[in-house]
Chains A and B, each alone.
Chain A
Amino acid sequence: MSVDSGTGTGQRHQPLPIVPLRHWGRWLSAAAIVVFVLAVLFVLGHADIAYHDVPTFFLFPVMLEGLWHTVVLAVVAQAAGIAIGLAVAIMRRSANPVASVSAAVYIWVFRGVPVLLQLLIWYNLALAFKVIGIPGLFSVSTNTVMSPFVAGLLGLGLNESAYMAEIIRAGFNSIDKGQIEAAHAIGMTPARTLRRIILPQAMRVIIPPTGNDFINMLKETSLVSVISYVELIQAANNIASHNLEVMETLLAAAIWYMLLVTIASIGQHYLERAVAGGTKEAGRAQPLQAARKALATMPFAGR
């Protein structure tokens, strides 16, 4: 290697022009996609769908009632799933073999049976048990208790609790053993260590898949239509059975689902930020900035 001092020796160095790389592939693929989208739009435009009716169905009282039912069922079932899942996860990692094996069997059962089948079993429980209760304390007719909502809540909530238990367990396992030993070393009991040291840190790992599960839950509520709970899809079907505009009502329901999922994704973003204390992500971005960023990335935030 030699170093040219560049003082007078040799000719004056002319900088050579730089030719940027031409990305022909990008242009070609973009063109292909534009053609494809235009073709799809053309086909959809000539489809036998009365698009101008969609906004009407979108705000139909029946549709709004279905929307309300979907949201309530999803929220309550998810909350139940988180609560039960937390208890099962704690049992699963317990040193007590009775607790840990029971939890494993619980997860095995409620994760193993398809959720649609679980819904059907709960809904048809009256066929097996006419009355339910505790002998000598109380008893009720199964048919009065097992409304479509209750059956839906049991089916979706219990199934979800098995998944939540695994998510929360993964969160617990992500915590460095040293954190637990340090907590024990200052005299914390196992319960307090869980509450004050493990759980708060595990939230970082637990929140993203839980948001994912809630988004799934919003859509899974549509399964409850088979046991005649009037959620969004059942509402759409009810409207269509009067006016036979099936595609139009389904489109309106689809838009509602997309809206719900979008809102849930934004909520998840904020939750993740809220539990990021003590880490690099805990940057203090303005709420509006965060919302703009969330919206900007939303269509691609596929999970």
Chain B
Amino acid sequence: MRIVDVHKRFGGREVLRGIDMTVRRGEVVCLLGPSGGGKSTLLRCINHLERIDRGEIWVDGQPIGYRLRGGALHELHEREVAAQRRIIGMVFQRFNLFAHRTALENILEGPVNVLGIPRAAAMERGRQFLARVGLADWANNYPAELSGGQQQRVAIARALAMEPKLILFDEPTSALDPELVGEVLDVMRALAKEGMTMIVVTHEVGFAREVGDHAVFMFDGRIAEAGSPEQVFGNPRHDRTRQFLAKVL
């Protein structure tokens, strides 16, 4: 995945001012930084939930939101963007499980209705994904009957069921009670070990240090500092990084 000079403004405020970044297959990149720094916006731009105003975002050789033809990027119809998003999973801060569907049905929704996999086959795979996040016994419960940690694990299974090449995590543990954070991080840790490509917006410095291949510190719409976690956390060069780390550690 390659991000080139991405800009994004909301109203008059420029929230992303020239982001460049490359993520290789199998890498785990953690985005950190103060709120309002543009981390979540960048993540939402990667699967085109937000339109970028300038720059390019390439995932698996495709320019997201566009088609390359005759040396120009042609804007895609929503339908075509939807097809591009199949290879990009996303996990939200507020879980966003479909409230009218059970845990298993949440997972089936994509494979059955988007990928067109026969229901019976998808059901079997769906149960495997649920088992993988440790919720085999909760298949028939509605989201309202699950704890936050369980909901987030179902949400991860829902993203996995699309067999994506990249998963975006938007502060996956920020809405959870402290004692439930661990179970979600465990699932993410296991995913990283299996070689999933992940971009994680998080405040969990411990997780970023242990699991991340790269840590990227964003501040004020720009990348202030990027490098290996040991370097960014152990020997920060930027003042803002130091101030931020002093607060969260």
Contacts and interface: CB of A to CB of B under 8 A. Distances in A.
A187 B114 CA distance: 7
Interface stretch (B86-94, B189-197, B230-238): B86-94
Contact of A189 (B78, B88, B100): B78
B169 to A, nearest CB: 12
Interface string A176-188: 1011011111111
Contacts of B144: 278-280
B200 interface: no
A178 B49 contact: no
Contacts of B158: 182, 186
A183 B158 CA distance: 11
A38 to B, nearest CB: 51
Contact of B109 (A189, A196, A277, A282): A196
A280 B49 CA distance: 31
A278 B114 contact: no
Chain A interface mostly helix, strand, loop or mixed?
helix
B83 A184 contact: no
Contacts of A282: 142
A187 B99 contact: no
Given A187-B114, A187-B162, A178 B94 contact: yes
A96 to B, nearest CB: 11
Contacts of A182: 90, 92, 96-98, 155, 158
Given A178-B94, A185-B89, A201 B49 contact: no
Nearest to A182: B96
Interface in B55-99: 78-79, 82-83, 85-86, 88-90, 92, 94, 96-99
A79 interface: no
Contacts of B86: 186-187
B143 A185 contact: no
Interface in A150-181: 176, 178-179, 181
A192 B98 CA distance: 14
Interface residues of B, number: 32
Interface string A50-74: 0000000000000000000000000
A190 interface: yes
Given A187-B83, A187-B110, A188-B114, A200 B100 contact: yes
B100 A278 contact: yes
A189 B90 contact: no
Contacts of B101: 278
Contacts of B47: 185
B159 interface: yes
Contacts of B114: 186-188, 192
Contacts of B49: 181, 184-185
B243 interface: no
Nearest to B161: A186
A197 interface: yes
Interface of A: 176, 178-179, 181-190, 192, 196-197, 200-201, 277-280, 282
Interface of B: 47, 49, 78-79, 82-83, 85-86, 88-90, 92, 94, 96-102, 109-110, 113-115, 142-144, 155, 158-159, 162
